[in-house]
Structure 1
Amino acid sequence: MADSWEALEAECLRCNGCALCEKRQHVVFGDGARDAEILLVGEGPGQREDEQGVPFVGPAGQLLDDMLEIIHLDRTKVYVANIVKCRPPGNRDPLNVEQDACMGFLRRQTALLRPKMIVCLGRIAAKAIIKEDFRITAEHGQWFERRGVHMTAIYHPSALLRDLSKRPETFSDLKSIQAKIREVCSHTTV
C-alpha cells in the first residue's frame, strides 16, 4: 500500500529507531506545502524546533525565511524537512546511525512530494543526499541532477549566523536557486 502523508507522519511520530527518541520533546516531521516543487533539507532539529515540533523556527529559521524572501519565496511554496527528525543532544551533528534510522522517512517524504528541486541546507544534508564526499566550502551552489531532480547545497543558516563572511557567496547561491526555479518549476513563481 502506498504511503499517505498522514500515515507516514503517524509512523514517524511513533519512531523509536535510535537513541534520539529518548530525550525528544517532539518529533519534527516536516512542514510546508505537500505539493511543493521545492524541498529544503537541513540536518536536524535544534532546541526551538524540538520544543515546537516544526523545522527551522529558531534563529537559523528566521534567517532562512529572510534568505527565501530575497528570492521572493516563502514557506507556503516549499516543503522543509531534516535528515533526522529528533534533536541531537547539544545540537551536535547527527551520528550516522541516527541518520540511517531516519533516512527512510525522508525518502518516503520525497517520494510523496516528488519535488523538482532539493536544496540541502548545509554539509550534513548534502553528504546524505547529493554525495558522501560533498565538500560544502568547495561545492556549495553547484547543481547536480539525479532522476530528473535538480539538487544543490548552500551553507546552513546557522553557519551564516556564525560566519558573516559566507553571506556574499550564499547570496549568489540564492540567485542561482531563483534562476533554476524559473527554469524547472511550473507552478512556483519567484
Structure 2
Amino acid sequence: MRASEAQQADSAPAQGESRAPVRADQAPQTEARDRFDRESPARASDSSRAMQEREQGDRRVPPAEQQGQQGRMQVPVETRTVSQQSRTPEPPAVEMPPDDDFAWFDDLPSHPGTEARGEAPEPPSIQTLDWDALSERVAACERCRLCEKRTNTVFGVGDRNADWMLIGEAPGENEDRLGEPFVGQAGKLLDNMLRSLTLARDTNVYIANVIKCRPPGNRNPEPDEVARCEPYLQRQVALVKPKLIVALGRFAAQSLLETDASISSLRGRVHEYEGVPVIVTYHPAYLLRSLSDKAKAWADLCLARDTWLAAGGVPSNAAK
C-alpha cells in the first residue's frame, strides 16, 4: 500500500503539469496547430485524389477540347457572342455570280462535238449541187468498189439545157479510157441515129450513163452499185430538165423503171422517170450485132419524137 501511494504521489505532479493553464496568447496557435495536425492527412489525401482525377481527365480530353473548355469557363457568354460576331467575315464588295452562271463556257467552241472527234464536216447533199460541184463529186467518188479499178469517171456530155436526154448502161473500155460516153463504133451508130432526127450530140441532146465507172470485164453492175450511183443521175436529170428520156438498152431501161421486164415488153410504150416521159429502145452496141433490129430501133425513135413534140418540143429547124 505504501508503494502504490508513493507511485500516485509521483504521478500527480506530472498530471498537474499537463493540466497547467495555457496563456491567452498561446491558445489560438495551439488550437490551429491541433486542427492542422488533424486535417493535414485528409487534405493530403484530397489533393492527391484531385491530382489523379485531373491527370485522368487530361488523358481523356484532347488538348483542343481542354482549351475550349477553359475558354468557355473563363469567357462570359456576352463576351463570347461579341467575339464570334466580330470574327464573322464581311460580305465581299464585288457581287459574286450565282451558282447556275455558265458564263465560263463562253470560251468553248460553238460546235465542240465535230472538232473534238476530228471528223470532217458532212458534205452537202447531192441534190443541192450545181453542174461544176456535181462533176467534181463524181470525179472523186468512192461510194462503191467500182472506183478501185477505173481509169476515168464518165460524167456525161452534151447540151445541159437539152430537151432530149439519152441514158445508157455503163462505160465500156473505150469510155473508161477517154472519159466520155458512147465512143467507138457504138458511138458512131448513135450519132447516125440522132442525125436522122435532125439532132446532134451537142445540140439539144445530153448523154449520160446510169453508172459512172466501168464495171470490171464489162459485167453488169450490181444492185448496190446502181443504188449508190443513181443519185448522180437523178441530179443530172433535175439540172437538165429534159422533155424526153430515151433509155438505151435493157439494163438502162430496167434501172430507170425499176423492173425486171424484158426490153421487148417495154418497147412501144411511154414510161416515166422523175416525172419525165421515157421511151425504151435497143443499145447501139446491140444493134451492131443484130442488124435486123435496126428497123425496130427506128420505130422507137419515131415514137420518141412524137412524144417530145406532144410535150411541147420544137423541131430544131424552127428553134434550137
TM norm structure 2? 0.57
List aligned pairs for 1:67-86, cutoff 5 A: 67-76=193-202, 77-86=204-213
Deviations 1:73-103 (A, max 9, x none): 1112211110100111121111112111210
Distance in 1 of aligned mates of 2:285 and 2:218: 11
Distance in 2 of aligned mates of 1:78 and 1:87: 23
Q: Is 1:155 paired with 2:293?
A: no
Q: Is 1:14 paired with 2:140?
A: yes
What is the letter of the counterpart of residue 178 of structure 1?
Answer: R
Question: Is the CA contact (8 Å cut-off) linking 1:3 and 1:112 kept in structure 2?
Answer: no
Q: Is 1:136 paired with 2:136?
A: no
**Of residues 160, 172, 176 in structure 1, which corresponds to 2:299?**
172
Cross-structure match for 2:153: 27
Runs of 4+ aligned residues of structure 1 deviating over 6 Å after TM superposition are none
Q: Higher RCO, 1 or 2 (CA under 8 Å, sep at least 6)? A: 1
Offset at residue 188 of structure 1 (A)? 5.1
Distance in 2 of aligned mates of 1:142 and 1:99: 24
What is the letter of the counterpart of residue 30 of structure 1?
Answer: G
Q: Is 1:115 paired with 2:245?
A: no
Query: How many residues are matched?
Result: 190
Distance in 2 of aligned mates of 1:82 and 1:19: 17
Cross-structure match for 1:49: 175
Between Structure 1 and Structure 2, the one with more helix by share is 2
Distance in 2 of aligned mates of 1:138 and 1:177: 16
List aligned pairs for 1:90-129, cutoff 5 A: 90-129=217-256
Q: Which runs of 5+ in 1 are unaligned?
A: none
Distance in 2 of aligned mates of 1:14 and 1:27: 9
Question: Is the CA contact (8 Å cut-off) linking 2:244 and 2:304 kept in structure 1?
Answer: no
The DSSP-based 3-state class of the residue aligned with 1:153 is strand
Distance in 1 of aligned mates of 2:221 and 2:267: 20
Between Structure 1 and Structure 2, the one with more strand by share is 1
Cross-structure match for 2:36: none
Once structures 1 and 2 are overlaid, which stretch shifts more, 48-57 or 169-178? Answer: 169-178
Once structures 1 and 2 are overlaid, which stretch shifts more, 101-110 or 127-136? Answer: 127-136
Offset at residue 134 of structure 1 (A)? 3.1
Question: Is the CA contact (8 Å cut-off) linking 2:181 and 2:207 kept in structure 1?
Answer: yes
Distance in 1 of aligned mates of 2:227 and 2:273: 20
Identity of aligned pairs, percent? 43
Offset at residue 182 of structure 1 (A)? 2.4
Question: Is the CA contact (8 Å cut-off) linking 2:152 and 2:213 kept in structure 1?
Answer: yes
The DSSP-based 3-state class of the residue aligned with 2:261 is coil
What is the letter of the counterpart of residue 95 of structure 1?
Answer: E
Offset at residue 105 of structure 1 (A)? 0.5
Deviations 1:108-143 (A, max 9, x none): 111111111111001111111123133202222321
Deviations 1:49-80 (A, max 9, x none): 11110101121111111111111111122111
CA RMSD of aligned residues (A): 1.6
What is the letter of the counterpart of residue 137 of structure 2?
Answer: E
Greater radius of gyration (CA): 2
Question: Is the CA contact (8 Å cut-off) linking 2:152 and 2:176 kept in structure 1?
Answer: yes
